[in-house]
Amino acid sequence: MSKNTRRTFLKTVGLAVGTAGVVGATTATKNRDEPHAVQNEVADTDSVETHATGWTFGPVGRMSSSPAVSDGLVYIGPDDGTLRAIDCSTGTLTWENDSAGTKDHLGLTYSDGSVYVGGEYDDDEFRLSSYMGETGELDNQKLVQNEPVQTPVVADGTAYYPTENQASPTILYAVDTETGETKWTFSGEDCGTGATKAIAEKDGHIFIAQDRTIWSLDAETGDVQWSYEDTNYSAISDLSAHNDILYVGLSRDETDPESPNILALDTEDGDTLWCEPIGYHENAQHVTATDDHLFASMYSDGSFYLTAIRTHDAHEEWEFRAEDGNFVPESTAKDGVVYAGHGSQVTAFDGATGTKRKTWQTTGDAYGAPVVTDNALYQNTRDGYVHKFDRDE
């Protein structure tokens, strides 16, 4: 298994419009001019909307992940151990299944009529489960040795559940969505013990990260296509695959002033496209990619930021700093707008300029990525509520 490092592979890439440029794997000082700061700007609407623009459901247990939205229902899995479906239009409970719960929060995914959940159950067993989206009835369930972590990814008839590897070396289960049978498992070679940090899917490839290593796996067989590892960062936080590029959020090595917090790899071969210490922030906790921009939730010196980075040359265009040390969790990008929670607010930022288009007020700290549909936005909060807001931007 090859291990591609930024020192081994330098790639000439023509990602920009016009003449192709060379983006070196070393950190580029040309990208270090100050980004446009938007933290104190007034939103274009000059207003903070309240819950009256939609509805609020709760309180239930603590929310530590995003809802799933499809077919007129919002699915939530708080840590009170009950899986719930809420009507998108009215905000009323459609069904609940209190036997579907785990001791901790449920990271869930909806796909093709089913809700996929992994977690530790009340009998101290770890299970990978799927439930019927319309009724909440159990569809398939299997026992596994390791505790599921992160939200499962579902694609082309397979549910991929990342796990920690305390009880066995396995860090990923691939489960057939029709039969519930395991198609294959993956154990990272020579990786440390702990929770799998990130997973993403793109065009028949599954990307998974643990410790300092990223693997690209064939989605059908689990065979390793390539792997990447380096020692110039301390840990991997998140993955986002878009347009044949895998963007990686990193925690910087504090002993190296040029240690990166964002890495861009070619999805086909793992070659490095660029590698940068954006804003010199300590880590990039979450990354969301679009055609032109990468949006990163950053942390540094007790403050949280949302940073916009040009994808073709790693130039930092604008940055939002949350007030009073409020947490900026995952973001969602749609139609040229990026949505992110910060404290008890969710804001829509213009993706190109960072200008605030609209801000909505929540009951508590936003947690997980907002789910954005054509006409609405759904946000979970840590105090046990799910909020629906009309976009009307």
The domains of the chain, with CATH numbers, are 67-196 (2.40.128.630)
Q: What is the pLDDT of residues 144-191, one digit of tens each?
A: 888 787 889 999 999 999 888 777 788 899 999 999 999 999 997 666
User: What pLDDT shows up at residue 226?
Assistant: 96
Exposure on the CB side of residue 324, measured as CA atoms within 13 A: 6
- Burial (CB < 10 A; 0-12, 13-18, 19+), residue 255, is exposed
Q: Please give the distance of CA 227 from its chain centroid, rounded to a whole number.
A: 21
pLDDT > 80? residue 26: no
> In angstroms, rounded to a whole number, what is the distance separating the alpha carbons of residues 231 and 150?
24
**Backbone φ/ψ region at 342: left (φ over 0), alpha (ψ -120 to 50), beta:** beta
User: What are the residues whose beta carbons fall under 8 Å from the beta carbon of 7, sequence distance 6 or more?
Assistant: 25, 230
> In angstroms, rounded to a whole number, what is the distance separating the alpha carbons of residues 308 and 186?
34
Determine how many CB atoms are found less than 10 A away from the CB of residue 10. Answer: 14
Q: What is the pLDDT of residues 256-293, one digit of tens each?
A: 999 999 999 999 999 999 999 999 999 999 999 999 99
Q: What is the pLDDT of residues 73-94, one digit of tens each?
A: 999 988 888 899 999 999 999 9
User: What pLDDT shows up at residue 237?
Assistant: 92
- Omega of the bond leading into 59 within 30 degrees of 0 (cis): yes
User: What pLDDT shows up at residue 133?
Assistant: 97
User: What pLDDT shows up at residue 210?
Assistant: 86
Write phi, then psi, for 241 (nearest 5 degrees): -105, 130
DSSP SS3 for 324: helix
> Which of the given ranges, 4-18, 148-162, 333-347, has the highest pLDDT on average?
333-347
pLDDT > 50? residue 24: no
Query: In terms of DSSP bridges, do strands 83-87 and 73-76 run parallel, antiparallel, or are they unpaired?
Result: antiparallel
Q: How confident is the model at residue 51 (pLDDT cuts 50, 70, 90)?
A: very low
Q: What number of H helices and E strands is found in the chain?
A: 0, 37
Q: Please give the distance of CA 380 from its chain centroid, rounded to a whole number.
A: 14
User: What pLDDT shows up at residue 13?
Assistant: 34
> In angstroms, rounded to a whole number, what is the distance separating the alpha carbons of residues 239 and 202?
11
* Prediction pTM value: 0.87
User: What pLDDT shows up at residue 6?
Assistant: 34
Query: For every residue of 202-240, which 3-state class applies, written as one string?
Result: ECCEEEEEECCEEEEEECCCCCEEEEEECCCEEEEEEEE
The identity of residue 390, as a single letter, is D
Query: For every residue of 349-393, which 3-state class applies, written as one string?
Result: EECCCCCEEEEEECCCCECCCCEECCCEEEEEECCCEEEEEECCC
Alpha-carbon distance values, 152 to 97, 118, 239, 242, 352 (Å): 19, 7, 14, 18, 31
Beta bridge partners of 104: none
Q: Is the alpha carbon torsion for 21, 26, 30, 31 positive or negative?
A: positive
Please provide the average confidence, as pLDDT, over all residues in the chain: 84
Task: Report DSSP state, residue 279.
Answer: G
Is residue 250 within a helix (H) or strand (E), and if so which, with residue range? strand 245-252
Q: What is the token pair recorded at 251?
A: 């925690």
